Amino acid sequence: MTFKLVTDSTADLNETWAKDNDVTVLGLTISLDGMTYETVGDNRITSEELLAAMQTGSNPTTSQINVGVFEAYFRQEVQKGNNLLYMAFSSVLSGTYQSAVMAREMILEEYPEARIEIVDTLAAAGGEGFLVMLAAEKRNQGQPLDQVVADMKAVSPYLYSHFLVDDLYHLMRGGRLSKSSAVIGSLINIKPLLWINDQGKLAPLTKVRGRKKGIREMVEKSLEDLDYTTVVLAHAGDTEAAQKIEEYLLDESGVRCVIQLPLGPVIAAHVGPGTLAIFTIKKSPR
């Protein structure tokens, strides 16, 4: 028996791809200038709209998916007789994962024979999306739910996520950088390179002076010990830089496939305009 695959809007998946591959995307919400916006559906806020607002001084905040949303979706699918696999945004970065766990427990009390599997990807953005795409590929090849769950839990520790942030202000606003460090760093043109560590937390990796050097450092670290020749590349508004990185990866590094998944509004709200990111699967775990 096949199963339904579901994830959340932090995976930054292409909407057409998600529909074509029968992947359901549930949305976190964004508060911006006194209004609350959805991140999925026809009336969702786009990354372009959010980034434009941030460049004029707006300070968005994000909210997790609540228990009720998961409960309603899980019940709907269970009543249809479907098994479920939810690929979740890192539990360290959001309470969304815990909301899903609580909803599952509620549904299982009512439907004890239901199958609702939840995988904490310990990832975000294109990294989370990378794992969802792998899960969809395996399901579409006919692999059963148990095998896909085991495979996703096995590969997740080998997924590397590198983010080059252009503006330190947004890290300061989110509490990941002190105000003094942000001011000094901006004055001397410091560009922090961040990664998602083995605990699923966004953490500083190194600091580089200048954006060009930062891009080189990010590419080098992303390509070390590479296992998969497919790479996911993301950007928050800087399409030109992303295109140059893609061309380099395909021409110079031995990478065979680059999938661009532009940063969605949830992650962009925290890292800000100009951010670039590369997601790779390596031979050694984080």
Residue with tokens 């909407």: 15
Taking the C-alpha atoms of residue 13 and residue 243, their distance in angstroms, rounded to an integer, is 18
Place of tokens 């979740």: 88
- Give the other-Cβ count within 10 Å of 194's Cβ: 21
- Torsion angle, CA of 160/163/164/166, rounded to 10 degrees? 180
- Phi, psi (degrees; rounded to nearest 5) at 217: -65, -40
pLDDT per residue, tens digit, the chain (286 aa), is 589 999 999 999 999 999 999 999 999 999 999 999 999 998 899 999 999 999 898 889 999 999 999 999 999 999 999 999 999 999 999 999 999 999 999 999 999 999 999 999 999 999 999 999 999 999 999 999 999 999 999 999 999 999 998 876 666 655 544 444 433 444 446 788 889 999 998 888 888 888 899 999 999 999 999 999 999 999 999 999 999 999 999 998 889 999 999 999 999 998 889 999 999 999 999 9
Helix axes 96-110, 67-79, angle to 10 degrees: 40
Residue at token pair 């795409």 = 133
Structure tokens at 246: 């893609």
In order of start, what are the domains of the chain with their CATH numbers?
3-157 (3.40.50.10440), 158-281 (3.30.1180.10)
